[in-house]
Amino acid sequence: MASLTSPPPLTMRSTHVHDYDRFYIGGTWTTPRGGDKIEVVSPIDGSVVAVVPEPTDLDIDDAVLAARKALNGSEWRSTTAPERASLLDSLADEIEKRIPEIAEIFAVEIGAPLAVGTQFHQMSVSILRQFAEIARTTEFTVDRVDGGNRVRIVKEPVGVVGAIIPWNGPIAAAAFKIGPAVASGCTVVLKAAPEGPLTAYVLAECVEAAGIPAGVINIVPGGREVGEHLVTHPGVDKIAFTGSTAAGRRIMSLCGDRIARLSLELGGKSAAIVAPDIEFAEVLPHLIPASVGHTGQVCAAITRVLLPRSRYTEYTEILAAAMSSLPLGDPFDAAVALGPIAMQRQLERVEDYVRIGLAEGAHIATGGSRPDELTSGFYFSPTLFVDVTNEMRIAREEIFGPVVVAIAYDDIDDAIRIANDSPYGLSGAVFTHDDSVAEKVVREVRTGQIFVNTAGLCVTQPFGGFKQSGLGREGGPEGLDGYLETKMVQFATAGDNA
């Protein structure tokens, strides 16, 4: 298989990476069972930048068999938690060495500016290093006394994990699953999205270079059909999925048929509450990257901005001016803040929601169309809708693009009501100088993460959602729980057998 080491410089005018022809299964690069191919299209200019093999159900079977063999084998079963921690550190080292290269590939296949790609993959390293430390400090066996009986509580690996990751941040999403899986002693079959397989191939190379034992981590790209085969496979004990709520609902149904263990990190429509006591200039440095960073293609993006009615016009004018000034274009240009939307169908989805918003009676303060100066590629101007009510579809449905809605509220209780009036509950923020207001919002808004006078994504603490934003948590010590089963052992006391 060709290597991605030291690739030629990449630009908008020359975006071909190179092709792959194998999968990483059982610690080796295996020949696909079928002959179908996946074309990787760059959103920079719409060109095909690579071709990779498309797996069949038989390839998934091979990967699950390899993971099961490793799980049951003496080499992996006999590893200690500190040894598994060292493997995670080694994997983090391999990824860290290749971050500049990975950021370039990520720019080509997904359109993320180099700074965004660098940040995403630094996060991946942080996640893996944290789970290495968690492995070292977690007590997997605890002895207790219960009513005079000696009891042992043992935390054991859940088994083979089917990890399904999205295109918008493949290695970061993978780290959230590989980290706790390896820390706990599980094995993994990782299915990457067909829209973004190239960084996943680099991850496979890093797994190999890190010396992860054969079969512990197996990586294949693939679409929905092989994804469903993985979800329903009897050799898979747990599914860990990151993606849309619609797909998560389907996966939950399939897992329910066989009572498979399941964690879901799904969509969001997160709200920032801006109190009237703060100047909007203080909010902008936090709000802009949290709302339209990575072209809004982040599940935890702040896409509803709740503003006091008394300052609504003032605040929306400032926000519109800031959004309209964001540099949009070539992700290899260091001055660019936003790259293209990742794929044609996603661009069309964003355009559909703009039409929906206008039909619902909202107005566009800035953006709302493709930029005239960028005639090729999947670019869309950052868009702010004003005069939005929380009943509109653009305020309730995840758009997954650079679209923000501004909603007026009457008082803080009204703002909290609006924030909670959503099928989602993934992230959120409050901006205020009043500590009592901040504490009230933090206490009453039902969301998995919430930030005070800042916004973003914290990957080294528990991350996950309320309501339709998911099940379970990723990150932090809480992220390990879903990869463990609890066994109770009770020992006979002296005299029980007399």
Residues catalogued as catalytic: 265, 299
CA distance 231 to 255: 7
Q: Do you know the residue count of the chain?
A: 498
Residues in contact with 219: Cβ distance below 8 Å, sequence separation at least 6, in sequence order: 23, 24, 25, 190, 192, 200, 201, 203, 204, 207
| CA–CA separation, 408 and 425 (whole Å) | 20
User: In which region does residue 163 sit, left (phi positive, over 0), alpha (psi from -120 to 50) or beta (all else)?
Assistant: beta
Tell me whether residue 139 is exposed, middle or buried, using C-beta atoms within 10 angstroms of its C-beta: 0 to 12, 13 to 18, 19 or more. exposed
Residues 6+ apart with CB under 8 A from 369: 354, 380, 381
Distance CA 380, CA 397 (A): 19
Q: What is the dihedral of CA 449, 266, 130, 301, to 10 degrees?
A: -50
The DSSP call for residue 14 is B
For the chain, how big is the Rg over CA atoms in Å?
Answer: 24
Helix (H, G, I), strand (E, B) or coil at 400: coil
Nearest to 376 by CA among 335, 337, 334, 330: 330
CB crowding 29-43: b at 16 or more within 10 Å, else e: ebebeeeeebebbbb
219: nearest Cα among 16, 74, 55, 102: 55
What is each CA distance from 450 to 308, 424, 430, 440, 470, in whole angstroms?
A: 19, 13, 8, 12, 16
Exposed (0-12), middle (13-18) or buried (19+): which is 384, by Cβ within 10 Å? buried
Contact status, residue 2 vs residue 204, Cβ threshold 8 Å: no
Q: Which residue has the tokens 């004003």?
A: 386
Distance from C-alpha of 367 to C-alpha of 354, rounded to nearest angstrom: 10
Burial of 325 (0-12, 13-18, 19+ CB in 10 A): exposed
164 is written with which tokens? Answer: 């399904």
